[in-house]
Amino acid sequence: MDRGKIINRNYATQIRDFSGLRFNNITPTDIDGFIDFHNEWFVIMEFKHGDSPLPYGQRLAIERLVDIVEKAGKKSIGIVANHNISQDIDCANTIVREYRYHYTWYTKKEIMTTKQLIDKFIEKCNWNLRDGASAAHQSASSSAMQNTYRSDDGNKSQ
């Protein structure tokens, strides 16, 4: 079996109806992808077609998930990426629109794929994938990630 591939294509195309799970103005959202690197670093991914907006509730969910992981002493990144494909999506090659990292949203200033950003995230987290061991947490690792994009207010990160 190929890892990362859809196992049952028929079930993957089923629409999920969350309308019966409304609690006042709170309703469920979905997230397209999640990677857990040995309970140390986490990647949350959402893929949008073209310039489709990220709904407020979905943005808030990604933001809160990324931030709570940081507060727990782990590393996390939330990625929103675009594609213009009407068939199967090669998620690794989607183009990053924005991402949440270390309590801040960053918007793209250069073209980068989702795979490239995850590779950069892994590198900055000092993750050694060969033996699955992690180096000591280093707070300075966020600076190179922040220099890749601009924050929502348009100011370049330090």
Measured in residues, the chain has a length of 158
Is 11 domain-assigned? no
Whether 61 maps to a domain, the answer reads yes
- Given this model, what pLDDT does residue 126 score? 78
Write down the pLDDT at residue 125.
86
The secondary structure element, H or E, covering residue 36 is: strand 33-37
Is 156 domain-assigned? Answer: no
pTM (2 decimals)?
A: 0.80
Look at residue 145 and tell me if it is in a domain.
Answer: yes
- For residue 90, give the DSSP letter: -
In a domain? residue 32? yes
pLDDT in tens, the chain (158 residues): 678 787 888 887 888 899 999 999 999 999 999 999 989 999 999 999 999 999 999 999 999 999 999 999 999 999 999 999 989 999 999 999 999 999 999 998 889 999 999 999 999 887 655 455 444 433 434 455 555 555 555 444 43
Q: How many CA atoms lie within 13 A of 97 on its CB side?
A: 16
Within a domain: 2: no
- Give the per-residue pLDDT at 147: 52
SS3 category, 133: strand
**Cα angle value 127/6/54 (rounded, 5°):** 70
Rounded CA-CA distance 60/48 in Å is 16
What single DSSP character describes residue 91? G
- Please give the Cα distance from 111 to 136 (Å, whole number): 30
Residue 48 belongs to domain spanning: 25-151
- Does 10 map to a domain? no
Strand partners of residue 76: 42
* pLDDT of res. 3: 82
Residue 134 falls inside a structural domain: yes
Report how many domains make up the chain.
Answer: 1
pLDDT at 138: 38
